[in-house]
Amino acid sequence: MNDETPNDAPADRYLTVAMLADAYPAFPETSIRWLLFKRHENGLEAAVIRVGRRLLISDLGWRRWLEGNREAKPPAPTPTAAPTKGRRTRGTAAA
């Protein structure tokens, strides 16, 4: 029997907080627990299943959430006009 899902889609797995912290070392357990506590505000709710008191986090849902929260590149700096030599701006005292 074949364990693959239809269309060869990757199978999702559900992880505990400790397992997720081991799989993603950039996120310590305490940070993951805080993100889970705030999941209704930060959008992580879609990746979480509650079984009794235990929260299980979808690995695929976690990665989607991470990608969705990627910081956008900052806009390119706009060129500013260089001050003209010999001209004073209003409010500056003469040297």
Exposure string of 9-43, with b = 16+ CB inside 10 Å and e = fewer, is eeeeebbebeebbeebeeeeeeebeebbeebeeee
pTM (global) more than 0.85? no
Q: What is the pLDDT of residues 32-90, one digit of tens each?
A: 999 999 999 999 999 999 999 999 999 999 999 999 988 876 677 777 766 666 666 66
| Confidence at residue 2, expressed as pLDDT on a 0 to 100 scale | 53
Half-sphere exposure of 39 (CA within 13 A, CB side): 17
Cβ within 8 Å of residue 21, ≥6 positions away? 27, 28, 29, 32
| Confidence at residue 40, expressed as pLDDT on a 0 to 100 scale | 95
